Structures are given as C-alpha cells and as structure tokens.
Amino acid sequence: MIRILIADDHHLLLDGLSQALGRIPDFEVAGAAATVEALRTLAPDILPDVLLVDIEMPDGSGLSALRDLGAGHRAVIMTMHADDEHRNRARAVGARAFLSKATPLPDVAATIRAVHAGESLIDADDPDAILDRYREPSLGPDADSLTAREREILALLARGISGTADIADELYISHKTVKNHLASIYEKLRISDRTQAAVEAIRLGLGPS
Amino acid sequence: MIRILIADDHHLLLDGLSQALGRIPDFEVAGAAATVEALRTLAPDILPDVLLVDIEMPDGSGLSALRDLGAGHRAVIMTMHADDEHRNRARAVGARAFLSKATPLPDVAATIRAVHAGESLIDADDPDAILDRYREPSLGPDADSLTAREREILALLARGISGTADIADELYISHKTVKNHLASIYEKLRISDRTQAAVEAIRLGLGPS
DNA sequence: GTCACCATGGGTCGGGCGACCTATTGGCGT
DNA sequence: ACGCCAATAGGTCGCCCGACCCATGGTGAC
C-alpha cells in the first residue's frame, strides 16, 4: 500500500485525482492539500510514502515547500509548464520525477510506483523503460496468489451474480466446483463469505467497467 | 442518469475527473476528449446530456467547437482563467455555466445537475442558491425510497460486515430486526441476497471513504 | 384523530451456504 | 518420470439466510 499526499490548488484536479488514485488497489490517498500552507502542515503529520505536488499554487511554489521539507521525501512534480527551466528547478529540490499535467493516469500511477520503489525518473535516459516495469495492473498484495478461475468468480460476485447455481451456469461448471473455488478464495483473502468476497473483489478492481 | 462528455487536454484532469464523476450514482461519463478534434467527433455521435469542456486546448478553443455544435447542447465551461473576458465569450457560444478549475468537485457535480435540469448559471444573480437545490448526495433513483436505517445497514454491508449477528451487534438491535430491514432492502432494490445488496451499496456510493 | 410508515421484535420453515473431506484429470517444471 | 498444483466433481453436516407470517410503539401527514 503506497500512501500518497497530493497537492494542487485546482480542486477539480485535486478531487478527481484523489478519487482516481484511491481506486487503484495498491494506492491510498493519505492527504490532499489545496495550498502550499496545507502541504507544509500535512506532510510532516501524515508522512506519506510519495508526494505528488503541483508547482504553481496561489500562496507560493510547491518546490519551495519541498525544499523546506528536506531530503527525506520522495516527490513527483506535476506542472502545466513542462519545460527544462521548471525541470531543473524540480531536480534542484530533490524531486524524483517530473510530469506534465497532460500525462495519462496510468503513466502517473506507474511513476508513483517507480518513485516509491526508489527509482529516479527525472534524469533517466529512458524513462519509459523504467515505467514499463511498474505498469502492472497491480491488484492488491492479497490478490497475487489468486488463480485466474478464482478471479473470474470474484468478478462475477462483483457484478452481483451471487448464487452458487448462477455462477456455475455462467462458467459451465458444477456447483460443487464453484463452492470449492469459493472456499479457497475465502482462505486466501482471509474472509468467510461471498458478501465479503464481493466487497473485496470491487476493492481489488475486479468489478465492471 | 446524466450522460456527460468531458473535454480537456490535460489527461491528468481528464482521467481523474472521468473516474470521479463516473462514481457518482446519477452520472455516466459517456465520453472523454483530449482534443477539440475529438470533441467535435464524439459529441454528435454520443449525444451527451451535458458537455463539460475546457477552453484552452492545444488544437484550438473548446468554445469554437461549442459554437459549431449549435444551440442544442447544454454545456458547462471550465477554465483556469476565470475572468470576465472568458466568461463573456463562453456566454456568447451558449454555455450554461462557467467554472474555474479551482471549483471543488461537489460544486461541479451540482452545476452539472443544474444545467441538465435546464438552469442557466452563467448569468444568474445568485448561483449558489441555485446550486444548493442540486446538491443532494444524490443516490441513484432506486435508493431514494430507502430509509436511514436501511442505508446504515447497506453501508455496513459495503464495509464487509456481512453476518446478521455482526450487523445486529454494530447497531445494538436484534438480529430479527436486521433481517426485517434486509428484507425490505431486497424488495426496494429488487435483489435477493446480501451479496447483491453489498454490490449495490458500493455502486450507490454508500461504501467507505 | 386517524392513517401510513418506520423501527423494533418475534416465529417457522426450507433451502442454500460454508466447513471439511476425498478423488480424478491435466499441465508445468525439473 | 515424478511431483506439484489448478480445475474439476462429489459427499455430509450443521447452521445461517431468505421468504412469509404477525405484533407493537412512535412519528409525521392530512
């Protein structure tokens, strides 16, 4: 679970990005700041794993706040003005990555994972090559031991196909087999019934859409 | 269900906002355009109920696209430069509302609902008064008949509290009462067990966070 | 004041569900 | 060739769940 603090004065982006990143199973948005002031206050308090900060904010620059926070942070800078001037200033305050606001969401997620893992993308020769290594759909840590069939059943639960017979019909297998798969799902996710399984399935991103 | 088309060249905002609005039960993001070109192509195709468009895009102005699309659309303009100059130009192409990108998400949602209902906020005397009328937490149409207690139980289900006894303990009531509430939930939402109820609860926005 | 509705609590009954166990088949790695 | 594991299927058992009844008190509408 990567704990993130987002700072951006545009609420539209701040709120949207918070929800979008929060939906990704291995991310947790630990805080959101709309001002540099809030960033300075929140960061030492919640100690996020990765900072995602905008440069331009009405009450100052996100970069100055980063400098003051010291070298202990792992920060991703995002800005509308993705030029070398800004990039150099970001590098100077110890930022690990530098993104334009035109970057697609999956790339941002991969960047955050890379920075969390200790990579520095801001002066990398081939940033895309690094990003590709962190691009996994990344279900939660609990989910990696699930088999394909088990995920399939979880996906059905997340769609509201809850009866054993309904699941069996959907997959063209015996209802006994469905119950076997469910039992191993319960064990792996440390839960005890299909309602909790449906909740977990949705949380893990196995739901529709 | 309000069908929305979003246009913004900043993918970070486009992706984040799409997911955030899509999570709101009465909204459906029918399309997302990162260019004016895409906006022109998509709008006549998917015929959204409300357009949410940025002014500044690299291949032109969102306003000119709106003008070309004719008067049949209901559009909300969002921009970083929320000055009178831009507001007047937005009004001139028939936009119904004009928002800064610093607007918080709930206000954006309320604005979209207002515009969908036929309101025009761009030259309203007291826009906040109008917004307040569209600010309902707005659960889905199925959910409006649910009582407070029923929603409380749905919220517990969405958190994975699935056993009748667990729910009863949480609410300090008899397990019989829990089953009665569940029965009326099943009837109102036209479902038949608590797993489907948990899925619906999450879809309706009753989940955690 | 009456009526509708909600929250509360209770009872019965049948079927579905979860826990536990065994077993066969097929693929994959070494 | 051997072992491991996923996927398949079957069985039993006890309990929980959902369907269908009923009753009471409180609250708000008209």
Tens digits of residue pLDDT in B63-106:
888 888 776 789 999 998 888 888 898 889 889 999 999 899 98
Q: Is the pLDDT of residue A138 over 70?
A: no
Q: How far is CA A87 from the centre of its chain?
A: 24
Cβ–Cβ of B20/A20 closer than 8 Å?
yes
- Closest nucleotide C1' to the C-alpha of A172: D8
Which residues of chain A approach chain B closer than 8 Å at the C-beta? Answer: 9-13, 15-23, 78, 80, 99, 101-105, 108, 157-160, 162-163, 191, 193-200, 202, 209
Cβ–Cβ of B19/A19 closer than 8 Å?
yes
- Determine the residue type at B23: R
Chain B: nearest CA to A125, how far in angstroms? 24
Cβ-contact A73, A40 below 8 angstroms: no
The CA distance from B86 to A67, in Å, is: 36
Q: Count CB neighbours of A88 within 10 A.
A: 12
CA angle, residues A121, A126, A131, in degrees to nearest 5:
60
3-state percent helix, strand, coil for chain B, nearest multiple of 5 = 50, 15, 35
- In the structure encoding, which two tokens stand for residue B182, read together? 């569940």
The CA distance from A96 to A76, in Å, is: 6
- pTM recorded for the entire structure: 0.80
Cβ-contact B122, B98 below 8 angstroms: yes
pLDDT band at A73 (very low <50, low <70, confident <90, very high): confident
Query: Residue A198's pLDDT is what?
Result: 96
The CA distance from B49 to A53, in Å, is: 34
The CA distance from B82 to B80, in Å, is: 6
Residue A158 CB contacts under 8 Å (≥ 6 apart), including other chains: A198, A201, A202, A206, A207, A208, B199
The chain B residue lying nearest A200, using CA atoms, is B160
Cβ–Cβ of B196/A162 closer than 8 Å?
yes
The CA distance from B76 to B178, in Å, is: 44
**Mean of the pLDDT values across residues B147-155?**
93
DSSP letters, B110-159, are HHHHHHHTT---TT-S-HHHHHHTT------GGGGG--HHHHHHHHHHHT
Query: Residue B172's pLDDT is what?
Result: 95
Chain A: nearest CA to B41, how far in angstroms? 20
**Mean of the pLDDT values across residues A161-169?**
95
Q: Give the distance, in angstroms, between residue A148 CA and nucleotide D1 C1'.
A: 28
Query: Residue B72's pLDDT is what?
Result: 74
Query: Residue A200's pLDDT is what?
Result: 93
In this complex, the residue of B13, B16, B195 whose CB is nearest that of residue A162 is: B195
Q: How far is CA B187 from the centre of its chain?
A: 26
Q: DSSP secondary-structure letter at A145?
A: G
Query: Residue A137's pLDDT is what?
Result: 58
pLDDT band at A63 (very low <50, low <70, confident <90, very high): confident
Query: Residue A128's pLDDT is what?
Result: 83
Cβ–Cβ of A202/B200 closer than 8 Å?
no
Cβ-contact B174, B168 below 8 angstroms: yes
